[in-house]
Amino acid sequence: MSFQRILHLAGAILTVALLGTAAHAASSAGNGRTETPLVDGWRFAFGDEYTEKSDSSSWQTVSLPHSWNRIGGHATKTADADDRKGKGWYRLKFNADSWAAKPRRSWLQFDGASIVSDVWLNGVLLGRHYGAVSGFRFDVSDAIRPGENQLVVRTDNTSPETKGSVTAETLPMGGDWFMYGGLYRKVSLVTAAPVHIDLADEGGPGVYARTVSIDAGRARVEVAAKVRNDASVAQVIRIRTSLIDATGKIVASDTQPISMALSSTREIKAVLDVAKPHLWNGVADPYLYKVKVDLLSGAQLVDVVAQNFGIRTMRFDASRGFFLNGKPLMLRGVNRHQETGANGWASTDDQLKRDYAIIKEIGANSVRLAHYQHAQAEYDLADRMGLVVWAEVPLVLSSAPYGQPTATPGFIANSEQHVRELIRQNFNHPSIAVWSVANEPNILNVFTQIKAPTVPLLDRLAKLARTEDPSRPPVLATCCGTIPGDLMPTTPGTGLDSPPEAVDVFGVNVYFGWYYANVSDLSAYLDRVHAFYPGKAISVTEYGAGGALSQHTDNPLGGPVVAGGRPHPEAFQSYIHEHTWPQLRAKPYLWGSWLWNMFDFGSAIRMEGDLVDTNDKGIVSFDRQVKKESFYFYKAHWNPEPMIYLAGHRYTDRASPVADVKAYSNAAKASLSVNGLDVGSAACVERICLWRNVVLAKGDNEMTVQATLNGTQLVDRAVWRRVHGPGVYRVLAGQLGVTETSAGLYGSDNLFSGGESHLLNIPARRNPPPPKVVAGAADQKMYLAYRAGSFSYELPLPNGEYALTLRFVEPVEGQVAGKRVFDVLAQGSVALEAVDIAAAVGSLSALERSVPLRVTDGRAKIEFVPKAGEAILSSFSVDPR
């Protein structure tokens, strides 16, 4: 936290007045420090028409944390959705007693206010803070008065793209998340004696500890304390620095006399020698000490600051990865935005604890807190849980103000401010391994004509980070220009500089199989990056895919995924993770990886999957109520607790008469039964237990998977329903998603061999062309995609007579007869000869043909054989005759 509540010494208790509504000051000994939350009784209004002098009697009454914005987690815009950006006004009347009067010093502390904040106390403008994610303080010693005080805060979350915006040079310039507005973290009144540990140090605690060395059963800890004298005369005091173990015992201490000139600030360093140190050792043993600094005038305690601290070493090796306390540890982690569902950024401590309990359940040992500074409570949770943290500033999208070719002096200053605030406010957290100075800082260069240089600013920020904290490396995450000449991982180009040039440790954001290429291409790309930067330690900072809870597929390879649209079948997300994690685990040079993302989160630029205003790449739902399939895949790999999970819980109404049944388990093998009938056992390879082409009966099918691990019996069940019997197929060729049509539920493409899938209408995020419409189609949904080439289907079917109905469309506008001609074979015999769709009905017109199908060996093979051009199919159905 920015600073800890005062420790009680000698049992003294200071009684203080109420501040605001039911707010009490933290007590301290003697005339020391107090901290009083100002959370209740605020008045709020949104709009440009208000000023700091406006009558607030009719404003809304709110408590902190508060944001006026509500976005994400819904399928359609809801009544309480609120994506307004602009000025939010807050007013609070509170009482201050004589303990806040001079010569004592008083500060207003803001743990987080978005984005640009102006603060008035009793009509006096205290100042402005540029930045949504870091804490800040204003000295109010000259403005506060005994009795009633009036505090007014204006927060402004206007987009930097808006002409004349106050945020034009304030990080970030944009990003794939929503910038909530408001006083979304706590506000406090802090008072201290005239001589105190500095409260004006970029919002930091004024006490900064680091492990200098661990050697031969001893550790050396350096503690720097910044002391300020605001008394009217020079002062001679003593500074006592102590390290206290978890039992409350002082294990090392140092006391020094210091002279403080009038209106001066001094940095005092103490080196503590710790015998037999108990190391902070990640999730295995996250042991915490407390660093405590006391200021004493004679026998009187003047000020105290105490901070949690862990003794540990961390280092990075370009070939061997990450080392904690001298031992290798591959970091397996998750990304997280500070949003906690419907409350957005206005998170409570209980909501944060809930989220971190889910992170613990999956078995992660690291968390990347993207893409900005998070609440102190999160870093505290990571300290206590042993999660290694990637901490980051919000330099995202561009390394210059929006629309500018280069960074302006104001933009540079704000970037440096964010680096200083991040480091000083979080210096003492043992969980933090790295300070990230940017995420995808040049991605805007890929999509616009402006090619703002990136490396000069990144180099400057990296040098600043090293100066602020030599014990941790500056890092960054890059997606574009990682290797010079590459626009994206699969797109060579020119005009981009290479962000990794600025640092020795970095991460790559990679979305193979989602935004580009095939998921199997990831391994070769990582090797290429490692070979290009053999002396730099690299990690994978993002990977993943969207996953919609209500969208399903019978085969994740059945059709092209529309990353920027719909559908996003949950099983496709699982497929990407199942094929990404083994590639990452196999790279000894990777010091860590973080899947994107732990939770769905709000994003005003998205309309994807089955939601709007939401990025659905989370492996847990926006409201935290549903853990998606891929959550259990990682839990099976990362958490040693015995488990089994049957995939497909939400795909209850089944389109296909056969299904690949899949379970995730850390047991060696598992068994499957359907309606009590044993289907057999399957080995759980890569924690995946798989049964191919399991036949489903008409009606309910109770699917039960079981396993045993370490004497624990594991079981999971689901009920899958079929409207039809095993002799009925409904298939959309070339389509990834299961779809409800006018003729009932149709499955995604499945049971095929060969050919390629295509969409009739190529998706475009911006200015899409008018969609192609298929004339004469009974239902357009049956013609939205197609399989083309030379291909076949092999369908498990009970013996008998069937009708096979095939649907075609010629997708090429103006196609002439004879350009595409093909035969359709059923069970090896020609069923349709020389099909020429253009000759029969022309382009973009539906063609439907039915042929008989006889099955005598439990299988039906249907082949599409080109004669000219490629064969093509939009959808088909099979029904008993």
Look up residue 747 and give its DSSP letter: B
C-beta separation of 826 from 864 below 8 A: no
pTM, whole model, 2 decimals?
Answer: 0.94
φ, ψ dihedrals at 519, nearest 5°: -60, -30
φ, ψ dihedrals at 420, nearest 5°: -60, -45
Task: Please state, in angstroms and rounded to a whole number, the distance separating the CA atoms of residues 689 and 702.
Answer: 17
Task: Please state, in angstroms and rounded to a whole number, the distance separating the CA atoms of residues 757 and 787.
Answer: 4
Task: Please state, in angstroms and rounded to a whole number, the distance separating the CA atoms of residues 184 and 68.
Answer: 9
HEC profile of 809-824: CCCCCCCCCCCCEEEE
Of 427, 133, 393, 192, which is closest to residue 308 (Cα–Cα)? 427
Task: Please state, in angstroms and rounded to a whole number, the distance separating the CA atoms of residues 394 and 414.
Answer: 10
A 10 A CB-CB count for 743 gives 14
Task: Please state, in angstroms and rounded to a whole number, the distance separating the CA atoms of residues 817 and 807.
Answer: 18
Pairing of strands 590-595, 537-542: parallel
Identify the helix (H) or strand (E) that includes residue 250.
strand 250-260
User: DSSP assignment of 483-520, as one string?
Assistant: STTEEETTEE-SS---GGGG-SEEEEE--BTTTBS-GG
If you search the block for the tokens 């990886």, which residue do you land on?
593
Q: Quote the tokens at residue 132.
A: 């949504």
Task: Please state, in angstroms and rounded to a whole number, the distance separating the CA atoms of residues 117 and 322.
Answer: 39
What Cα–Cα distance (Å) separates residue 308 from each residue in 39, 91, 280, 431? 25, 34, 11, 11
φ, ψ dihedrals at 766, nearest 5°: -125, 135
- Domains within the chain, CATH numbers bracketed: 34-194 (2.60.120.260), 207-309 (2.60.40.10), 331-544+569-599 (3.20.20.80), 658-722 (2.60.40.10), 729-880 (2.60.120.260)
Task: Please state, in angstroms and rounded to a whole number, the distance separating the CA atoms of residues 849 and 522.
Answer: 42
Which stretches of the chain score pLDDT less than 70? 1-31, 764-766
C-beta separation of 359 from 625 below 8 A: no
Residue 585 in 3-state DSSP?
helix
C-beta separation of 686 from 668 below 8 A: no
C-beta separation of 119 from 127 below 8 A: yes
Name 336's bridge partners: 369
pLDDT score recorded for residue 18: 27
Catalytic entry in 35, 440, 608, 629: 440
Listed in sequence order, the DSSP H helices in 363-477 are: 376-385, 409-426, 443-447, 455-468
User: How many Å separate Cα 867 from the centre of its chain?
Assistant: 50
C-beta separation of 116 from 155 below 8 A: yes
C-beta separation of 126 from 183 below 8 A: no
pLDDT score recorded for residue 78: 77
Name 116's bridge partners: 130, 156
Of 269, 199, 155, which is closest to residue 35 (Cα–Cα)? 199
Helix-strand-coil split of the chain, %, nearest 5: 15, 40, 45
Query: What's the order of all strands across the beta sheet hosting 300-309?
Result: 250-260, 235-244, 289-297, 300-309
Name 646's bridge partners: 663
Q: Is 440 a catalytic residue?
A: yes
Task: Please state, in angstroms and rounded to a whole number, the distance separating the CA atoms of residues 737 and 751.
Answer: 14
Task: Please state, in angstroms and rounded to a whole number, the distance separating the CA atoms of residues 784 and 183.
Answer: 47
- C-alpha torsion angle, residues 631, 635, 637, 638 (rounded to 10): 120
Of 523, 509, 518, which is closest to residue 589 (Cα–Cα)? 523
Of 333, 335, 425, 434, which is closest to residue 375 (Cα–Cα)? 425
Q: Quote the tokens at residue 305.
A: 């600051």
C-beta separation of 236 from 260 below 8 A: yes
Pairing of strands 491-492, 486-488: antiparallel
HEC profile of 668-721: CEEEEEECCEEEEEEEEECCEEEEEEEECCCEEEEEEEEEEECCEEEEEEEEEE
Task: Please state, in angstroms and rounded to a whole number, the distance separating the CA atoms of residues 149 and 143.
Answer: 9
pLDDT score recorded for residue 20: 32
Of 507, 595, 585, 592, which is closest to residue 547 (Cα–Cα)? 595
Task: Please state, in angstroms and rounded to a whole number, the distance separating the CA atoms of residues 749 and 624.
Answer: 31
- C-alpha torsion angle, residues 372, 378, 382, 385 (rounded to 10): -160
Q: Quote the tokens at residue 574.
A: 């699982």
Please tell me the total number of residues recorded for the chain in this structure. Answer: 881
Question: How many Cα atoms sit within 13 Å of 785 on the Cβ side?
Answer: 26
User: How many Å separate Cα 153 from the centre of its chain?
Assistant: 30
pLDDT score recorded for residue 491: 85
Residue 837 in 3-state DSSP?
helix
Of 280, 307, 279, which is closest to residue 218 (Cα–Cα)? 279
Residue 1 in 3-state DSSP?
coil
Pairing of strands 331-336, 366-369: parallel
Render the burial of 212-251: b for 16+ CB within 10 Å, e for the rest. eebeeeebbbbbbbbbbbbbeeebebebbbbbbbeeeeeb
